[in-house]
Amino acid sequence: MALELKPEKLSPENEAYFEKCREKLGFVPNVLTSYAHDDAKLSAFAALYNDLMLAPSGLSKLEREMIAVAVSNVNRCYYCLTAHGAAVRQLSGDPVLGELIVMNYRAAELSVRHRAMLDFAVKLTEAPHRIGEEDREALRKAGFGERDIWDIGAVASFYNMSNRMASAVDMRPNAEYHAQAR
């Protein structure tokens, strides 16, 4: 990270969260260590991430990761393309799909559901003022319910914010992501 912010003492909850990352992933993602200078901000970021990406939803974990990657492609976020591209490769079991979504989701052979979902997330990223009822209706026709549409918007919005923070501070992905699920 380009900023020289010293980590502060983390709360027991955040120390446990970092330890859980080490156990499950073998490392603490740099996005989390970049927030370690402010325990309250780290807690807020982690809580929102965990709610959007891991809590029960009509969207699968893979679908949420696909949104993260498609949004990050538009924003050219190196950190998120690398980290979440690895997650798409892993969750889908398809390294080619993961790489296609990183490069250009429109080149991938996607279901009608996934194409509609990513089209909406990308439009929300590129031209949020152009989102209208016809966009939500396209999601409904692809099989998404009202709560699903909310979740698509929430995940896309979160990654727009995260991409901008990653760019602002030159956040770099952990090297481990590059080799995962290839």
The SS3 assignment for 133 reads helix
Percent of the chain topping pLDDT 90: 96
Q: If 0-12 CB within 10 Å is exposed, 13-18 middle and 19+ buried, where does residue 181 land?
A: middle
Q: pLDDT value at position 167?
A: 96
Spell out the residues 6+ positions from residue 118 whose beta carbon is closer than 8 angstroms to its own: 66, 67, 70, 101, 105, 110
Q: What confidence category does residue 2 fall into, taking pLDDT thresholds of 50, 70 and 90? A: confident
User: So what's the pLDDT on residue 25?
Assistant: 94
- pLDDT tens profile 118-143: 999 999 999 999 999 999 999 999 99
Rounded to whole angstroms, the Cα distance separating 68 from 66 reads: 5
pLDDT band at 82 (very low <50, low <70, confident <90, very high): very high
Q: How far apart are CA 80 and CA 82, in angstroms?
A: 5
Cα(125)–Cα(140) distance, integer angstroms: 20
Confidence of residue 1 (pLDDT cuts 50, 70, 90): confident
Taking CA atoms, 27 is separated from 15, 18, 43, 82, 88, in Å, by: 13, 8, 18, 15, 19
Supply the pLDDT for residue 56. Answer: 97
Average pLDDT taken over every residue of the chain: 97
Q: Binning pLDDT at 50, 70 and 90, where does residue 35 land?
A: very high
pLDDT recorded at residue 182: 86
- Domains belonging to the chain, first-starting first, are 12-54 (1.20.5.810), 61-179 (1.20.1290.10)
Question: What is the rounded CA–CA span in Å between residue 47 and residue 85?
Answer: 22
Q: What is the pLDDT of residues 143-177, one digit of tens each?
A: 999 999 999 999 999 999 999 999 999 999 999 99
